[in-house]
Structure 1
């Protein structure tokens, strides 16, 4: 089995079309077909079902794909380790992040890091809280910024960088919009605008409300913070969002109000895999992250 065969196999599996895979690989279609046939002959199994011009993975082909993708990640990781040991300040960092990190935390941290290490490159991957954990376990990335920091995973190691409050986001003409702070129970009768089920920021709000004996009346759901802000600004409901997402600039037609009694909080931090070491450049960034937030006293208790 050759690495070239594995790469051809993975590309055909993704495209489900030999010609399109060959075009992506910049090789002749006949070369791809021949290598796939050789691979199937060596393994003694059929990896694809031919359906006219398209192909579909067989059941055993799907299993083989999972293992081969992991194998390619291991090979790429090994190559990168060797390159970065020669010069950690010129390596690549594959960093995942959730949407609440995008507007303020991520750009400020990367900007500060690049001032010190201008030759480091970043490959960024955005997704949900759950997706970031899956990508770490699969080896697609080695580090992710998110909140809250997972505490019950045996395969991930989380480091808390700071704690932050969730604040109420209200339409500017709301009766509570001018208050210095409000109690969460004062929002009991409100229409809530939250992330969909499966999003951890939704879970934080729902759990806080249930601790006070009520379930929030959710009128709208949105997968992006900007959409949630816009719906609140339009007067369609209220929301609770991480305070850090409202740091920069004015909130159009909306007001943020601190929530007291109880405070609704989350941890924010970085997660890395337990079963493999960070690459030298990633370790450089990981240590920088911890020192960066340690210096920002306003994010600490």
Structure 2
């Protein structure tokens, strides 16, 4: 049973005249008649009776018509779904991200993405950079969002610039202060978070390059705990701007410049397997939401 046969049957049933149905389907009357006869042979029943007023459905034809209509409609809906999947308007997007990104960047970004793509089901998995990379390689997530410093392999899509700066507790008269790296940094306790994070590597490299040994080092496992320690005056920390902008606005943390160093700017990039099939519209939609988040800061 072919789709062309079903369409021929429905067209004749609607218009009653073979000539009219053939015109609509852009086939000859002979070709249309052949399709209907083959369909009747396959079904083992007569679907039409020829009359002076055209083709009239038999009882079997009337019973079959509703099923034929549902079949054609279902196929049309399936074809439409495939088009929407190809264009990224429906489907599923699996995203993996490091804890700092998933906590401080993704909520608003995904809200905007979901507004633009309401029929796309989002799945977010959180892990450290290497863990998320493994998820990509095992095809358990389609995209990996990570800061540029931690990116390796795969295809990268530039998105935004993050600002990573040292922060310390506000003093009674908060002011932006630049301090000499050789004297002041050595008097501060350094608070680090998450050895597997690229921030740990970045901060350690900074102190090695500066030739400075901090007064002490405290290691924690997450950003929030680190912020609390800094708020209580227990030391300084290099934290992503996205994680502390609320505290900076509230005055519980103070941004401190380091003499001779510019703020580190790190892009968030989207990485996928080279052979992964991800609609470009979905990638661009997600990155557009990320760019907008940066522009509004």
Gaps of 5+ in 2: 1-80
Deviation track 1:183-228 (CA, whole Å, cap 9, x = no partner) reads: 5543232111112333211111111121111244553212211010
Partner Cα separation in structure 2 for residue 226 and residue 201 of structure 1: 14
**Structure 2 partner of 1:142:** 142
Q: Map 1:16-165 onto structure 2 (within 5 A).
A: 85=85, 88-150=88-150, 153-154=152-153, 156-165=154-163
Partner Cα separation in structure 1 for residue 172 and residue 221 of structure 2: 24
Cα 1:142–1:215, aligned 2, differ >3 Å: closer, same or farther? Answer: farther
Partner Cα separation in structure 1 for residue 242 and residue 294 of structure 2: 15
**Structure 2 partner of 1:12:** none
- The CA deviation at 1:143 is 0.7
Asked if 1:289 is matched to 2:257, the reply is: no
Deviation track 1:44-71 (CA, whole Å, cap 9, x = no partner) reads: xxxxxxxxxxxxxxxxxxxxxxxxxxxx
Partner Cα separation in structure 1 for residue 133 and residue 296 of structure 2: 24
Whether the 8 Å contact between 2:108 and 2:293 is mirrored in structure 1 is no
Asked if 1:178 is matched to 2:202, the reply is: no
Whether the 8 Å contact between 2:149 and 2:198 is mirrored in structure 1 is no
Partner Cα separation in structure 2 for residue 264 and residue 141 of structure 1: 32
Name the count of aligned residue pairs.
215
Cα 1:110–1:157, aligned 2, differ >3 Å: closer, same or farther? Answer: same
Partner Cα separation in structure 1 for residue 171 and residue 292 of structure 2: 38
- The CA deviation at 1:168 is 1.8
Cα 1:109–1:217, aligned 2, differ >3 Å: closer, same or farther? Answer: same
**Structure 1 partner of 2:244:** 246
**Structure 2 partner of 1:261:** 260
Partner Cα separation in structure 1 for residue 234 and residue 125 of structure 2: 31
User: Higher Cα Rg: structure 1 or 2?
Assistant: 2
Partner Cα separation in structure 2 for residue 149 and residue 212 of structure 1: 19
Whether the 8 Å contact between 1:149 and 1:270 is mirrored in structure 2 is no
Gaps of 5+ in 1: 1-80
**Structure 1 partner of 2:204:** 206
TM-score, with structure 2 as normaliser: 0.62
**Structure 2 partner of 1:17:** none
